[in-house]
Amino acid sequence: MKDNGITLVELLVAVSIVSVLAIALGFEFRAWIGGYRVESQMRELHLDLMDARVRAILRKRVHFVSLSQTHYTVQEDIYPWPDGDQCLTASDSNRPAGYNDPIPIMKRHLDLTLPITWNNIRVRHVKFTTRGFSRTNRTICANTTYDADYDCIAISAGRIRLGKLKKKIPDGGICNAANCVKK
């Protein structure tokens, strides 16, 4: 018998093995992408929290980060001009006389498929004093089942750190500093 190539059975076996591997890798890839998106969103929020803290120190004005499940806003206390009143009010969104810079408001939208939650959800603001300290301890968590390296942020008086939830929120975990461990 001459060896002229591969048989139909060999071809079917090879195609079925490749198909099974492609399907398995497709599911793994989807989970990896989901984890990457969660981590990317948490890192961006962490960066903006750190930026608000540094700006509060450099500009000697209180800064607020307002949280929502769909977006967050970083805002500087500018009313009454020039020193503010240490409170977040609607007037902080208006340009006072003598203030020539753009209104210091930054609004970022979150991925709607990757919701966040935080402890004490009734209090929506994180306040940074002129010395860069936070008056409240706050933990912000990703409310998803994706496995990301970083899926929570713990805020204390002088520190903002990324962490990983020991138990995911959808699995019955609580969004608090004890569940958000340093990675």
Q: What is the pLDDT of residues 135-158, one digit of tens each?
A: 888 999 998 888 888 999 999 998
Domain range for 158 is: 8-59+112-182
On whether residue 66 sits in a domain, the answer given is no
3-state secondary structure of 96: coil
Distance between start and end Cα atoms, the chain:
63
Look at residue 159 and tell me whether its pLDDT is greater than 80: yes
The partner residues of 118 in beta bridges, in order of sequence, read 140
Place of tokens 């948490």: 42
On whether residue 171 sits in a domain, the answer given is yes
Q: Are 141 and 164 in contact (CB under 8 A)?
A: no
Q: What is the pLDDT of residues 121-138, one digit of tens each?
A: 777 888 898 899 998 889
Q: How high is the pLDDT of residue 46?
A: 93
Cβ burial, residue 151 (10 Å; 0-12/13-18/19+): buried
Which has more confidence, 5 or 173? 173
* Total domains, the chain: 1
On whether residue 67 sits in a domain, the answer given is no
| DSSP state letters, 53-82 | HHHHHHHTS-EEEEE-SSEEEEEE--SSTT
On whether residue 95 sits in a domain, the answer given is no
Q: How high is the pLDDT of residue 84?
A: 64
Q: Are 56 and 130 in contact (CB under 8 A)?
A: yes
Token couple for 27? 């599911």
On whether residue 152 sits in a domain, the answer given is yes
- What predicted TM-score, i.e. pTM, was given to this entire model? 0.77
On whether residue 21 sits in a domain, the answer given is yes
